[in-house]
Amino acid sequence: MGIEIMREKCVGCAACVKACPFNAISMKDGKAVIGPECTLCGACVKHCRFDAIEFERPRGKEVDHSSYRGVWVYCETRRGKLMHSALELVSRARELADELGEEVGAMVFGSGAPETFTVLGDHGADVVHFSSESRFDEYLTGNLAPLVSGLILKHRPGIVLFPATHTGRDLAPRVAASLAVGLTADCTGLAVQDGLLIQSRPAFGGNIMADIVSPDVRPQMATVRPNVFKARGGLGKKPDTFEVNLNEGMIDATVRIIEIVRTSKEGVKGIEEADIVISGGGGMKNAENFRVLEELAATLNGTVGASRVAVDAGWRPRSDQIGQTGKTISPKLYIACGISGKIQHQVGMRGSEVVVAINKDPSAPIFKVADYGIVGDLFQVVPALNEAFRELLGGG
């Protein structure tokens, strides 16, 4: 394990100096020299056109476990803003770290990073590693993967958690493979037992649960579903913050963003992050009728989702689709309106804490996975429900 510049092959082109995310390579006497800042992330290797860098990736299996300490969280930001999942994961990391007697570390990147220190500390972070460069405001795998891998190699946390969002599920396996460690996807439960992280996750479309461990490698890594753990603030910690020493030259030019289309409204939580999701299916009959769901969502501060039938009919954008070919969500409350609830839909919403079904057909399968049901016409029930909540919540 290690890295070395083969001096006889190095022509002094300095391509590796530019490629290093940590400014660890410098030129001396016309040859590249690797300094102590090197984290063995390997980002330089492919940039050398002369095969002058000899590199063997560190192997997770060969490590001394006792030197890996700390529970770390990759805190996702979008357009510079911290996602709620970051606070949920930091809160859970705090509980796990307390059991282990270790520290909580957070990684946060993007122009809004410095504004997150207080809230991350409030939820239990002891240490924050950050960069406030705007190049991280729009996620690109190639920008972040070497950086995150490098930080992990350098600081050796025992556990690293990522959100199971599109970004987290893109980044975490890339990082895990570069570290040659295991990764458990989409966890809905995390616990510590005999020093090992027990990672619980659904498989086979939620038909079975499995507890996964990574006994021989460090760090133990998992992606975790948003909305599974509660964000618990009020700890008032003042985290130590460390700005990542970034190299200006490290910009991955192989992948470019050509266009960005946002369909979600500013200020409304996406369906993965919402505590309350009110979802409509074939029974909605047309796009216009979704207004009754929007009204209830406004009262409850929730977000409107849709079944595949409603998306296929063009009533709602596909980013709102819940089910096997759409999103898998786990809100506190899921209200299914005019959704029959075939197994493919259940896959997407079964993780909800409480499920309410509103349907005309008492034999609709949705009632099999619901906690509460109202058999009736949704166009009468949903407005009545809205009215009842408005009265009880005192919103007038």
Partner 1 sequence: MRIIVCVKQVPDTTEVRIDPKTNTLIREGVESILNPYDQFALEEALRLKAERVDVKVTVLSMGPPQARKVLLKSLALGADEAVLLSDRAFAGSDTWATSIALSGAVKEMGDADIIFCGLQAIDGDTAQVGPEMAQLLDIPQLTYAERVSLTHDLKVRVEQQMEDGSRVLESETPVLVTCVPPPSFVPKVPPMPGILKTKSKPYKVWDSKKIGADPSDLGLQGSPTRVRRTYSPPPRGEVTIIPGDAREASRSLARILMDRNIVGGVD
| Interface residue with partner 1, options 12, 80, 205, 365 (CB under 8 A) | 205
> Binding residue for partner 1 (CB under 8 A) from 70, 182, 280, 305?
182
- Does 297 sit near partner 1 (CB under 8 A)? no
- Residue at token pair 């050509």: 258
For residue 57, the minimal CB distance to partner 1 (Å) is 10
Q: Closest separation between CB of residue 84 and partner 1, Å? A: 10
Q: What are phi and psi of 159, to 5 degrees?
A: -135, 135
Query: Using the rule CB under 8 A, is 185 a contact of partner 1?
Result: yes
Peptide bond into 219 cis (omega under 30): yes
Q: What does the DSSP 8-state code read for residue 60?
A: G
Whole-angstrom Cα distance, residue 138 to residue 19?
20
Query: Per the structure block, which two tokens stand in for 327?
Result: 């999103």
In this structure, what is the dihedral angle of CA atoms 128, 131, 136, 139, given to the nearest 10 degrees?
-30
DSSP for 227-238? TSSPP-------
Which span sits near partner 1 by CB under 8 A: 18-26, 119-127, 152-160, 255-263? 255-263
Q: Does 245 bind partner 1 (CB under 8 A)?
A: no
Q: Give the span between the Cα atoms of 209 and 211, in whole angstroms.
A: 7
Please report how close the Cβ of residue 185 comes to partner 1 at its closest, in angstroms.
Answer: 4
Map the footprint of partner 1 across residues 221-240, applying CB under 8 A: 230-231
- Pattern of binders to partner 1 over 16-35, x per CB under 8 A? --------------------
Q: Verify binding: residue 184, partner 1, rule CB under 8 A.
A: yes
**Among 109, 72, 85, which Cα is nearest to 163's?**
85
Closest to 197 in 3D by CA, of 206, 187, 208: 187
Alpha-carbon span 161 to 220, nearest angstrom: 9
137 belongs to the binding site for partner 1 (CB under 8 A): no
- Looking at residues 318 to 357 of the shown chain, list those that interact with partner 1 (rule: CB under 8 A): 318-319, 321, 324-328, 332-333, 343-344, 347, 350, 353-357
- Per CB under 8 A, the list member of 49, 362, 363, 396 interacting with partner 1 is 362
Told to check if 194 binds partner 1 by CB under 8 A, we report: no
Compute the distance between CA of residue 148 and CA of residue 131 in angstroms, rounded to an integer: 11
Residue carrying the six token digits 């996807």:
185
365: contact with partner 1 by CB under 8 A: no
Cβ atoms 348, 329 nearer than 8 A = yes
Residue from 257, 267, 363, 396 binding partner 1 (CB under 8 A): 257
| Phi, psi angle pair for 276, to nearest 5° | -130, 125
Binding residue (CB under 8 A) for partner 1 from 261, 267, 288, 396: 261
Q: Output the smallest distance, CB 80 to partner 1, in A.
A: 14
**Which residues 149-168 are close enough to bind partner 1 by CB under 8 A?**
165-166
- Binding to partner 1 (CB under 8 A) within 70-89 occurs at 78
Task: Give how many residues touch partner 1 by CB under 8 A.
Answer: 105
- Please choose, out of 66-74, 95-103, 127-135, 379-387, the segment that lies near partner 1 by the rule CB under 8 A: 379-387
How many Å apart are CA 310 and CA 80, to the nearest integer? 32
- Closest CA relative to residue 284, chosen from 276, 275, 294, 274: 294
**Stretch of 12-20, 91-99, 125-133, 201-209 lying at the interface with partner 1 (CB under 8 A):** 201-209
Residue 177 CB partners (closer than 8 Å, separation 6+) = none
181 binds partner 1 (CB under 8 A): yes
State both tokens at 174. 């890339």
Window of 11-19, 95-103, 150-158, 271-279 that interacts with partner 1 by CB under 8 A: 271-279
Question: Contact between 191 and partner 1 (CB under 8 A)?
Answer: no
301 Ramachandran zone, left/alpha/beta (phi>0; psi -120 to 50)? left
Based on the shown chain and the rule CB under 8 A, indicate whether residue 270 belongs to the binding site for partner 1.
yes
By the rule CB under 8 A, 50 interacts with partner 1? no
